[in-house]
Structure 1
Amino acid sequence: MPASPSTARAINDRLALRLLQQEGPLTAGQLKTLTGLSRPTVADLVERLTASGLIEVAGESGEQRRGPNAKLYGIVADRAHLAALDVRTEGVAVLVSDLLGRVLAEASVPIGDEAGTGPAVEQAVGLVERAAKEAGADRLHTVGIGAPGLIDPASGELRDSTGLPEWHRRLMAALREKFPEARVGVENETNLAALAEQRAGAARDRDTFVLLWLGRGIGAAVVLDGTLRRGVSGGAGEVGFMPVPGTSGLPSATDCDGGFHSVAGAAAVTALAARHGVTATPEGPEPHAAALVREAVRRSVTDRERYAGAPDPAAGRFLDALADRVTLGAAAVVSVLDPGCLVLAGEIGQAGAEALAARVQDRLTRMSPLATEVRPSTLGGGAVLRGALLTARDRAQDELFAPPGRP
């Protein structure tokens, strides 16, 4: 059945908007070429989108003579303002952007373990308020939040997880109260990092891969055939609970001690570094375990621009031992999913960079018959914020670019 005229117009409008999002400002002639639509159809959609406030004249093309055909049309970037939050156990980072994803303001605040639930929520909400004000945003259209823990697929809320502060769960409600017009959504931090690496990072050329998060906790994000897989209960990738050799016990339903977390989480990495005599002083907010790995990488290379001393055998042995541990979990994931690509992310994965990735790659090649390329994250510590912004932007554009009458 052919589409009705109104449906066809909506489809054409959305196609044009997506092209303007991807390519930047275009002339009507360029839109005609890229969409394959007729000149009258393009003229109609330009008129409609301009009248609706979604696009505006953004300049003139140097390839055209002055006049109507030279006009460049672009998306009205300040039609909506978006906020992205990276919520950690030790603090919050936020950025505010326009509809095109251009960052207008960013800030962060530490929140210590001694802070109560109420004060912690107030600090986080206040941070978002200040960032929005700095960005010149009178209101926020969409807020995307990245946080550790499980997301209930039915409610879209953070589940009550052992070990996570209560203020994480209270934050969504507080943001909805402070910004009643905003659409507020939360996603697991590892999943957001994977989405960001897929769009603009280490997995740009992959539609199937696994992101292994190595930080204070351990997690994985699974992307198969271009789609993020969350699982029935939202727990796909909870590899911290995965039993592995070398632990003194087994994990339980409420505690991942005895699982992969026990050998590759931050506390285990710190203890492993101590056994190998590796020390480091964290710079700024960098976790101690990540600083230890970064220092070991620096001391294990012969690049005189990075480290003036002789390579430290102890640092190399520490990285080898860490790679052995990471490979335990990585090999299990690879044997089940055969993703072809494994991205090492999180603070420890970022600190290990190519040195750790190459070691894990070598061990996986010897351990598994399934070819798997191991890559370090290219987005580093900004991956979660980038992923939260991408999801907020997608959600806002889905609504603003939706056909009339569609919820």
Structure 2
Amino acid sequence: MPPASPSTARALNDRLALRLLQHEGPLTAGQLKTLTGLSRPTVADLVERLQGSGLIHVVGEAGAERRGPNARVYGIVADQAHLAAVDVRMNSVAVVVADLLGTTLAEAAAPIDAAGGIENAVGQAVGLVERTAREAGATRLHSVGVGAPGLVDPTTGELRDSSGLPAWHRRLVVALQERLPATVLVANETNLAATAERRYGAARDHDTFVLVWLSLGIGAAVVLDGSVRRGASGGAGELGFLPVPGTNGLPSAGSCDGGFHSLCGSPAIMELGAEHGLSVPEGADLHEPPAAALVRAAVAAGTPDADAFLDALATRLALGAASVAAVLDPGCIVLGGETGHAGGPDLAARVQDRLAPLSPVRTEVRASTLGGAAILSGALLAAQQAAQDALFPSGT
């Protein structure tokens, strides 16, 4: 392989320095030299280049405790680009606007009333994004990451039409692209959540794992060797359609009824709770899905009925986990979404105990540390990556 040209080498060095400044925080030229392994003149040149391009600036000084001039500390110019993350739920939208470093500047959430038609619902959602951007002081959004339920075509990046999802979902993505002067990236919500769990949450020490998403519905994200695997059509991880024993039926191409969803979806969990004499307690968080509130209360109660409910739920979850382990051998399964987060280590331990006798491979089961917030975190990471790829030198 021929050596890189001087211009390509410079771009690669600049990109390396920017990545270090992003992940390690503000650094001196001496610290950049140590971390990159580059020579002092090379680091001096790249610092001058990056300052000249407006990507970094002096944010302070270091070395007041020693003799001689203080060393300048350099940081990324965070307002070089503003980003947004959008979490599209069945009947609501949540938005976060941040700077290039991912620091939150404004956030908002609102229900979406679809009674007035598709365009009215879309107008409510896009309006929320625009208002939140203005509150953050962002005159222009560079990149917008959108997390949505359903299938996303891995080739075109479009949200595919799916039965059971509101019609305004697909139109929203198009409207964001039309009304915002920004790069709009849409991804399946569970895949984004897995990205966030790997960066910030329960899977920080795993390059290979499966996130089982437990919320109003059921899904999964497959991460192998550090990469999210979406499948040929974007349908990898449709765990709700998995045929499992105990459902008195089989799923079909158009419905997950009879599949794993019938055992562990939100309605099934509520029915299971009722069978054990449990219900959502008064005073529960109204923003939390009922199934998550029920599981959270059962974990806190510690009564015989609550324990029996959690054991029964863990037995059901272990059926799906056993199929995942047998096919993928991920080594780690994270119970995510609001319900997985609500169950915490207690529910995860119960599932692991019941999974062990069913699977020939050892699989650790962990609880999400991010819960439903993982979608926005993952969408923001996607927007941040897109902006950095566009702004940071690429060497091409």
The TM-score bracket by the shorter chain reads over 0.9
The Cα offsets for residues 20-50 of structure 1, whole Å up to 9 and x where unpaired, read as 1111111111111111111111111111111
Provide the rounded CA distance (Å) in 1 between the counterparts of 2:336 and 2:394.
38
Q: Secondary structure at the match of 1:258?
A: coil
Deviation (angstroms), 1:380: 1.7
Residue type at the aligned position of 2:246? G
Is the contact made by 1:60 and 1:66 (CA closer than 8 Å) also made in structure 2? Answer: no
Matched, 1:106 2:107: yes
Match of 1:343 in 2: 334
Is the contact made by 2:250 and 2:258 (CA closer than 8 Å) also made in structure 1? Answer: yes
Q: Secondary structure at the match of 2:141?
A: coil
Matched, 1:149 2:150: yes
Match of 2:344 in 1: 353
Match of 1:297 in 2: 299
The Cα offsets for residues 75-110 of structure 1, whole Å up to 9 and x where unpaired, read as 000000000011100201110000001000010001
Provide the rounded CA distance (Å) in 1 between the counterparts of 2:163 and 2:21.
45
Provide the rounded CA distance (Å) in 2 between the counterparts of 1:92 and 1:115.
17
- TM-score in terms of structure 2 length: 0.96
**Paired residues for 1:76-95 under 5 Å:** 76-95=77-96
Deviation (angstroms), 1:387: 0.5
Match of 2:4 in 1: 3
The Cα offsets for residues 199-255 of structure 1, whole Å up to 9 and x where unpaired, read as 110000001100000111111101111111111111111111110001121111111
The Cα offsets for residues 42-74 of structure 1, whole Å up to 9 and x where unpaired, read as 11111111111101111111356564x611111
2:288 to 269, 283, 286: 286
Is the contact made by 1:145 and 1:185 (CA closer than 8 Å) also made in structure 2? Answer: yes
**Paired residues for 1:1-400 under 5 Å:** 1-62=2-63, 67=69, 70-112=71-113, 114=115, 116-180=117-181, 182-280=182-280, 281=282, 282-300=284-302, 312-400=303-391
Show structure 1 runs of 5+ residues with no match: 301-311
Give the % identical residues. Answer: 69
Provide the rounded CA distance (Å) in 2 between the counterparts of 1:128 and 1:49.
31
Is the contact made by 2:270 and 2:279 (CA closer than 8 Å) also made in structure 1? Answer: no
Provide the rounded CA distance (Å) in 2 between the counterparts of 1:85 and 1:17.
26
Provide the rounded CA distance (Å) in 1 between the counterparts of 2:326 and 2:3.
46
Show structure 2 runs of 5+ residues with no match: none
Q: CA RMSD in A?
A: 1.3
Is the contact made by 1:61 and 1:70 (CA closer than 8 Å) also made in structure 2? Answer: yes
Residue type at the aligned position of 1:297? V
Deviates more, 1:115-124 or 1:45-54: 115-124
Is the contact made by 2:218 and 2:240 (CA closer than 8 Å) also made in structure 1? Answer: yes
Provide the rounded CA distance (Å) in 1 between the counterparts of 2:23 and 2:336.
27
Distance 1:245 1:239, change over 3 A: same
Q: Where do 4+ consecutive residues of structure 1 move more than 6 Å? A: none
Deviation (angstroms), 1:350: 1.3
Distance 1:115 1:386, change over 3 A: farther
The Cα offsets for residues 293-328 of structure 1, whole Å up to 9 and x where unpaired, read as 11111112xxxxxxxxxxx21111111111111111
Provide the rounded CA distance (Å) in 2 between the counterparts of 1:23 and 1:44.
20
Residue type at the aligned position of 2:194? A
Provide the rounded CA distance (Å) in 2 between the counterparts of 1:315 and 1:27.
55
Residue type at the aligned position of 1:216? L
- TM-score in terms of structure 1 length: 0.94
Is the contact made by 1:290 and 1:347 (CA closer than 8 Å) also made in structure 2? Answer: yes
Deviation (angstroms), 1:291: 1.2
Residue type at the aligned position of 2:290? H
